[in-house]
Amino acid sequence: MKLLLLALLLPVFAHTFENPPAPCGGMDCTPRLLEIEAGFNGAGPIEVTALPVLASGECYHLSWEYDAATTHYGMVLLDPKDGEVFMGGRFGFFFPENPYKDWSLEQARAENPAMYESNHRVELTDNFAFSDMNPGKIPIWFYWLKRAGNKIFVMGHWGASHRLLCEMAVHP
């Protein structure tokens, strides 16, 4: 059983800091998920000069627990502090509309009191931002983020078999 678990996790761990996986990566993606995948693939890096950035919007989950066609909502905050960048966020399920759309930067910071801890650190690369929120441990919580204009694209891995894709609007 342990060998099977390791075999399932190796492809996920191989795609971390240097190389994010393809968002749909052979999974059964809906047309909306394919749109988000195209946006993610065409987006660029998160620039440190554009931080802090707060964004919220639609999220979809690829897992046995959720219908990939159901719209959920999420919020991410990327915030620099003491020469490093940190990520906070919320992912809500089954809301009728985006509960984060009117959040201010101050509210997002207040709602994420642990975001400046080391496990919320974000690495900015030439192509994307990456955060491992449970470094070296299982379950895994990986996030890759990219930006295109007023949109932030988020891909997350929660454990070995749960992927999420989000398209979020940057808050003013």
Mind listing the pLDDT tens digit for each residue in 103-148?
Answer: 999 999 999 999 999 999 999 999 999 999 887 777 678 999 999 9
| pLDDT value at residue 1 | 43
The CA–CA distances, whole Å, from 22 to 25, 34, 45, 131 equal 5, 11, 16, 17
Mean pLDDT confidence for 90-106: 96
- What long-range pairs does 114-117 form, CB within 8 A, spacing at least 24? 114/88, 115/77, 115/79, 115/86, 115/87, 115/88, 116/79, 116/81, 116/86, 117/86
- C-alpha–C-alpha distance, residues 156 and 76, integer Å: 12
Q: What residue spans define the domains of the chain?
A: 29-170
Contacts of 97 (CB under 8 A, 6+ apart): 73
pTM for this predicted structure: 0.87
The pLDDT confidence band at residue 149, using thresholds 50, 70 and 90, is: very high
Query: What is the tens place of the pLDDT at every residue in 10-47?
Result: 444 444 455 788 888 877 899 999 999 999 999 999 99
- Structure tokens, 46: 């998160």
Q: The CATH number of 29-170 is which of 2.60.40, 2.20.25, 2.40.128, 1.10.510?
A: 2.40.128
| DSSP secondary structure letters along 44-80 | BPPPGGG-SEEEEEEEEEEBTTB-TTS-EEEEEEEEE
- C-alpha–C-alpha distance, residues 163 and 44, integer Å: 20
Q: Which class for 65: exposed (0-12), middle (13-18), buried (19 or more C-beta within 10 A)?
A: exposed
| pLDDT value at residue 17 | 53
Least confident of 46-60, 93-107, 151-165: 151-165
